[in-house]
Amino acid sequence: MIDNEADESDRTSGGAATPRRMPTQNLGGLFGPPNRTADLGSLARRATPRPAPTPESGTPAVPRPALAPVPPQADDASAPTPTPVPAPEPPSAPVSVPAAAPARPIEGGRADLSPTGTVRITAVLVSPAVADRLAKYRRGAADRTNTSIVLEAFDEQHQRVPELIARARAAAQPRGSLFPARDDTLHLPGGGGIQVQIRPTVAQLEVIDRITRENGLNSRSQLVAAVLNEFLPGRKDR
């Protein structure tokens, strides 16, 4: 009945029917993917504000702590190497070891619990700027991990390591002094207090450690940070 009435009203005075046009409606939203999360964030928030954490207890959510404590530079109490992991162990390797010496990790790493047992979880300390550049670079490709980036950086930059160290030594040389600066106070750009976790295999770690020893450094972390600083896109630490 309703249809008939509508038909009546749509007839012109001449009795001829004009084509009816249904008003356009935006149905796109109805068939689009449902927004399941729109209100959940606001539901999770409390109406009354939660007590703020006390300043001394506030721990900013920074990249996770080292799984194995990474020692700061030896004998360098003044170096700014804040780390969330207390009681770092002293460096366990001599400053310089002949290449023929049995290779062993310079710093402790945690053997992986995987059946192969060949992965060693360890951490390096980098500056906040290098940590940011690393995160940005990692997001550039789905298959990039901290570990793969470190290995890529070494592949590309290992020949420049002596130059980096020489530059750092020159910078550390006290002006007007006859005496060269101590190597254990050497500051390579790129290092800092942000911990970055990597999972190289034992064999990969040995290569990094060998380069570390060959260049007279006693900290793997220091070298990795410097190599990352040189390799990663963006403004380099100096």
Among 79, 121, 202, 207, which residue interacts with another protein (rule: CB under 8 A)?
Answer: 121
β-pair partners for 124? 196
Residue 56 found at the interface with another protein (CB under 8 A): yes
Nearer to another protein by Cβ, of 27 and 52: the residue is 52
CB 30 to another protein: min, Å: 15
Residue 92 to residues 52, 106, 211, Cα–Cα distance (Å): 41, 6, 16
DSSP, residue by residue, 36-104: SSTTHHHHHS-SSPPPPPPTTT-----SPPPSS-----TT-TTS----SS-SPPPP-S-S---TTSPP-
Residue 84 found at the interface with another protein (CB under 8 A): yes
Residue 78 found at the interface with another protein (CB under 8 A): no
Residue 51 found at the interface with another protein (CB under 8 A): yes
Could you give the string, one character per residue 9-48, with x where binding to another protein holds by CB under 8 A and - elsewhere?
------------------------xx-xxxxxxxxxxxx-
Q: 């006390």: which residue's tokens?
A: 54
How many residues of this chain interact with another protein, rule: CB under 8 A?
Answer: 43
β-pair partners for 110? 121
- The site for another protein (CB under 8 A) is made up of 33-34, 36-47, 50-53, 56-65, 67, 84-86, 110, 113-114, 121, 139, 145-147, 197-199
